[in-house]
Amino acid sequence: RRLLADGTEERFLRNQFILTLDIIKSTDSAVAAEFKTRIVSIFDSFKEREQIYYDTSGNDAFVACTAEPQVLWDLAAKLAIEGRSAKKLGDPFGGTRKGLSQGSVTIQIKSDGRTIVKDSPTLMPHPLPRAVGILAGADLCACSDGIDPNDVLVVEFGAGQPAAKDLKIELRSDRIADVEQKHFKGRCFLVHLFRRDVISVGRAPK
């Protein structure tokens, strides 16, 4: 930990599990604007009982991190349930895309209370762009009949191995999805948050 000149408290956290999410079909959606506030409220409720950090800088992609993967699984499931209930006929809002990855991050707590989750400049590759990039894996759900992307957690391969035991999920090697985006190219598992099984899919579109 260190204190910066402007009063910011900075903390370096190693080997964190990272939950990223964004809103599905947020353009021209009144529900999406309301749901952003709901996301922060859900994060706040988890922070009251768990050691988590989350970004409150107002970016379109939301980020939370902790050393305990089960906490982020519970958070993702809660967001999926809330996303289901928030959908309205005629509004394009489709819930959220959610991803689980792992890496070391820097937390900045500003003097006004805002929290910012950042990459550590000395570590390469930067984990946060990759953590956002894996969200593209949720788009593969369109290839699977009856699978709602809102109900899926995209688990990056490297994070899946240490998290699987705690999450009580079987990450089948024959159901690995290849995801390739601007900031991420690699393997992921698409895990159904309510069935706790891995969805069989192919490659995400570029």
Cα dist. 150→19, 24, 101 in Å?
14, 8, 17
* Tokens, residue 186: 């690699």
Local confidence pLDDT in tens for the 206 residues of the chain: 788 888 888 889 898 999 999 999 888 888 988 899 899 899 999 887 778 889 876 667 899 999 999 999 999 999 999 999 999 988 989 999 999 999 999 988 888 888 889 887 777 788 899 999 999 999 888 666 678 999 999 999 999 888 888 888 888 888 888 998 888 899 999 999 998 888 877 554 44
Q: How far is it, in rounded angstroms, from Cα 2 to Cα 41? A: 28
pLDDT digits (tens, 9 = 90+) for 133-152: 999 999 888 666 678 999 99
